[in-house]
Amino acid sequence: MLKVRSTFSLLQHKQLPATLVVGSARQYATRKLPVDFATIEEKWQTRWKHATPAAVDPSKPDYYTLSMFPYPSGMLHMGHVRVYTISDTIQRFRKMKGYNVLHPMGWDAFGLPAENAAIERGIHPAEWTVKNIAIMKEQISKLCIGFDWSREVATCDPEYYRWTQYIFLEMYHAGLAYQKEAVVNWDPVDKTVLANEQVDHEGKSWRSGALVERKKLRQWFFKVTEFADDLLKDIDRLENWPERVKQMQRNWIGKSKGAEFDFNITSSNAANLEPIKVFTSRPDTMFGVQYLVLAPEHPLVTRENLPSEQADSVLDFVQDLNKKQNMQEAEENKKGVFTGLYALNPFTNEDIPVYVAPYVLSDYGTGAVMGVPAHDKRDFEFCKVNGVVDQMRYVVEPAIKDLDQSTVVDTSVPYVAQGILTAASGPYQGMKSKEAGKAILKAAQSMGVGHPATQFRLKDWLLSRQRYWGAPIPIIHCPSCKVVPVPKEDLPVNLPLDVEFSGKGQSPLARKEDWVNCKCPKCQGPAKRETDTMDTFVDSSWYFMRYTDPKNKELPFDPVKASSLLPVDIYIGGVEHAILHLLYSRFFSKALLKQGAYQELPNTKPGNGEPFNVLLTQGMVHGRTYKDPKTSRFLKPEEVDLSDHDSPKIIATGEQPLISFEKMSKSKYNGVDPVSVVEECGVDPTRLHILYKAPPSEVLEWESDSIIGMQRWLSKVLKLSKSTTLTSNEIPALTSMSTEEREMYRVTNHTVKQVTESMSNSYSFNTAISDLIKLSNHVSSSSVEPASAVYQHAVQSLVKMMAPMTPSMSEECWESMHGPGEKSQSVLEQVWPTFVPEALEKDQVDCIVQVNGKTRLSITVPKALAGNAQEIEKLVRASEIGQKWLADKPVRKLILAKKGELINFVL
């Protein structure tokens, strides 16, 4: 293998985290490889290193291939290998297709794990990160990925985060970054605020798994909602994104059309209070509103506003919620408390009670809902639990009533669908829900108590973190000037390195007084720095733009360079980023376009600041997992006898273990260390295996054992190339080829067509590989002489088409065909083959031969003879098996069917 370790990484190598588990190293050791892949790969990697890189040719179009940059955890896993293999294959293919390719790489290097390492192991986050980057870079160097390291970025580098801060200030000046007090998700384990997106559906932190609590704090936000409409509408432009990801984005943005209604407060002891506004998606249920419910954080919920008899109990109730319940539990809890206030339903003229309950969210709609217990599930439950009313009023009923049922409605459940309005809706009786909703809204508008409204589920992005290892927010708080942005010429606001990590309470930044205390840039008086840092999603929302001009010292990137390279042509990464990272990147890209940071040509696709044209989401890599059938305990590989691959035994008991494929993890002992796999099996066979086992977006069930198939195929192709000496024959005209040549030429052209399609549009590398295997089988089993130009063209095309997937082996094959020395240029610098459409036509027909209706054999019939039963009979009788079935028996009837592709001999 290639030795590229710097002394630094060598030193660190000993500290490599223990590799997950190397499943079946024993087996490889005893298995003799058909080819010495390591030697061949080393030879070519060394040559490439010394070759001068191709200069950018301005006459060629650009192609920007991007794989999601990794978090430098210090260990490469199979998932990384999969993404980089895919992006490397695509970029090498595009180079051969005549593009200037951009294929950069960098590190998403800020974030909690580094800080946790500091707390747990006393190693500085900076040191930990730098070490990990060195280790991973070395591991990546073994995979033969053609990254452009000259553009490498690390988000924790002041030369990078300086520009993250710059962009923050741009957002601030454009009114897109602001501060507000907010109920936040507080992670009691990591002691930090989490974005809503970082809380899972069970109300737990995405990272620590702790139940999240609610807390009120002043926080920084990006105004993503300003772009809500564009972010939603422009999903339709993303023709080359997976439908599933687009739907996830749509749901996340969650546009909802409805109405806002005002309910006047009627309580005599609360005369000058503003009306309560509610947002509803069902204005047709207005006559069924029997109470109102406020979120606990609603501005009305204060001692001054509440009637004195109720104030204490309401405020206690709210305080209790904040203290002991996490957000999610609170929302599920249907318990509420009566405020003592009443409001008027403007349509029924009833006074209805006003409650407070946590199932109403403070940051959706108006933070208040109209309670329609008969038609909304949550309202129904709330009403039951709190005994709000005796009788729920059904104002909508199904359009077609079940004939068997009486006309009495089932009051044990809410009726949530739309339907026809009942007599309880007065003048609107008999109208359909939709129509009635419109009419009621119109009436409300003329009474001045309502108007149409649209709501988004999407919220502004809470970006501040009470953490150390992130980009400091470039803001200064001055007692007289208040919030003062750091002047751009003072950037970066450096993250101080000499801080203490205790893991408790305030962040190390807040405790570092000599850093916190500073001069106000406006009045020069004493002031304090903002001690919050930015969410790491901020760093990754613009890195693909920095790659277009990574060394710029004046700006985040040069507008001209960015404009010519953006958008990214293809973006490859995990589906776990289907919502947040992609949404935030879309927001940044749109906001920066609007601010003129770069421009788009008129016909740019997808357009309107969309950053990624094709999105390829790769599936996970699962590992072979063994479990004890009795205890369900995960078994270590050494506990299982794998000598018979198809029927492994538990060594201790002799029983068969349960076998499944699951996400690789330490606790399941099913991990595979990519570095040892490539060292043992070869880089190219590993790459091929990854691409062949599953289409990119599907789960890949990793089985090291089956790499042997790819190793054998590569050795076959190498043999084929070695036996091919190129003569300078030109391809003859189609008409002067022999039948066999004609067929080989057809198969070659057909394969070129198919593989080009797989590489440029469908990214189905697995079918590309099987097409190439078919081509190689065809060549090696054909009777066409190696001296034939058609034969040589077939092998050359085969090797060229393999090159993006198996660069080293293809170079070796190419060299063995062309001979060493000057003549043998790199296969990677060859032009991708094209196909001749006329050659695709079949010159022969495969004809199935039946005898007395039973299929017995098949023969190839020249196209000119297809359909000529007598000629086919001659061909059949001339063949050996044909002889056997027909012997000398006379044929009674000869039936030709399917345009000459089937013939039946009735004897």
Specify the residue, 478 or 664, whose C-beta has the smaller distance to Zn ion: 478
β-bridge mates for residue 368, sequence order: 294
Specify the residue, 261 or 835, whose C-beta has the smaller distance to ligand ANZ: 261
Specify the residue, 285 or 724, whose C-beta has the smaller distance to ligand ANZ: 285
CB of 478 to Zn ion, least distance (A): 3
DSSP letter assigned to residue 502: -
CB of 453 to ligand ANZ, least distance (A): 10
What is the DSSP code string of 409-445?
--TTS---S--EE-GGGGGGTT-BHHHHHHHHHHHHH
CB of 117 to Zn ion, least distance (A): 38
CA distance readout (Å), 608 to 168, 594, 601, 602, 736: 21, 9, 10, 10, 54
CB of 384 to ligand ANZ, least distance (A): 16
Using CB distances below 5 to 8 A depending on partner kind, what does residue 365 bind out of Zn ion, ligand ANZ, none? ligand ANZ
CB of 506 to Zn ion, least distance (A): 24
CB of 578 to ligand ANZ, least distance (A): 21
Q: How far apart are CA 381 and CA 333, in angstroms?
A: 10
Using CB distances below 5 to 8 A depending on partner kind, what does residue 520 bind out of Zn ion, ligand ANZ, none? Zn ion
Specify the residue, 302 or 480, whose C-beta has the smaller distance to Zn ion: 480
CB of 276 to ligand ANZ, least distance (A): 12
Specify the residue, 480 or 647, whose C-beta has the smaller distance to Zn ion: 480
CA 366 to chain centre: 33
CB of 118 to ligand ANZ, least distance (A): 40
CB of 486 to Zn ion, least distance (A): 13
Q: Which residues bind Zn ion (CB under 5 A)?
A: 478, 480-481, 520, 522-523
Count of Cβ atoms closer than 10 Å to residue 170 Cβ: 17
Specify the residue, 419 or 648, whose C-beta has the smaller distance to ligand ANZ: 419
Q: Which residues bind ligand ANZ (CB under 6 A)?
A: 256, 279-282, 285, 295, 360-361, 364-365, 367, 369-370, 372, 375-376, 455
Using CB distances below 5 to 8 A depending on partner kind, what does residue 717 bind out of ligand ANZ, Zn ion, none? none
Specify the residue, 248 or 481, whose C-beta has the smaller distance to Zn ion: 481
Largest CA distance in the chain: 114
Specify the residue, 183 or 295, whose C-beta has the smaller distance to ligand ANZ: 295
Using CB distances below 5 to 8 A depending on partner kind, what does residue 169 bind out of ligand ANZ, Zn ion, none? none
340 conformational bin, left if phi > 0, alpha if psi -120 to 50, beta if neither: left
Q: How far apart are CA 451 and CA 216, in angstroms?
A: 31
Using CB distances below 5 to 8 A depending on partner kind, what does residue 882 bind out of ligand ANZ, Zn ion, none? none
Count of Cβ atoms closer than 10 Å to residue 180 Cβ: 10
Using CB distances below 5 to 8 A depending on partner kind, what does residue 360 bind out of Zn ion, ligand ANZ, none? ligand ANZ
Q: How far apart are CA 798 and CA 769, in angstroms?
A: 10
Please list the alpha-helical segments (H only) found in 142-227. 158-173
Task: Give 104's Cβ-side CA count (13 Å radius).
Answer: 20
Strand pairing report for 475-478 and 482-485 = antiparallel
Using CB distances below 5 to 8 A depending on partner kind, what does residue 749 bind out of ligand ANZ, Zn ion, none? none
Strand pairing report for 192-194 and 177-187 = antiparallel
CB of 480 to Zn ion, least distance (A): 5
CB of 460 to ligand ANZ, least distance (A): 16
CB of 265 to ligand ANZ, least distance (A): 18
Using CB distances below 5 to 8 A depending on partner kind, what does residue 523 bind out of ligand ANZ, Zn ion, none? Zn ion
Specify the residue, 527 or 802, whose C-beta has the smaller distance to Zn ion: 527
Q: How far apart are CA 364 and CA 295, in angstroms?
A: 10
β-bridge mates for residue 352, sequence order: 343
Q: How far apart are CA 447 and CA 449, in angstroms?
A: 6
Using CB distances below 5 to 8 A depending on partner kind, what does residue 455 bind out of Zn ion, ligand ANZ, none? ligand ANZ
Specify the residue, 486 or 798, whose C-beta has the smaller distance to Zn ion: 486
Using CB distances below 5 to 8 A depending on partner kind, what does residue 82 bind out of Zn ion, ligand ANZ, none? none
CA 140 to chain centre: 21
Specify the residue, 362 or 585, whose C-beta has the smaller distance to ligand ANZ: 362
Using CB distances below 5 to 8 A depending on partner kind, what does residue 256 bind out of ligand ANZ, Zn ion, none? ligand ANZ
Using CB distances below 5 to 8 A depending on partner kind, what does residue 652 bind out of ligand ANZ, Zn ion, none? none
Which structure tokens are listed for 801? 């088409």
Select from 414, 371, 376 the least CA-distant residue to 389: 371
CA distance readout (Å), 577 to 69, 76, 140: 12, 19, 22
Q: How far apart are CA 381 and CA 413, in angstroms?
A: 9
Q: How far apart are CA 752 and CA 738, in angstroms?
A: 21
Select from 19, 2, 24, 3 the least CA-distant residue to 707: 24
DSSP letter assigned to residue 761: I
Strand pairing report for 396-397 and 420-421 = antiparallel
Specify the residue, 370 or 597, whose C-beta has the smaller distance to ligand ANZ: 370
Strand pairing report for 649-650 and 893-897 = unpaired
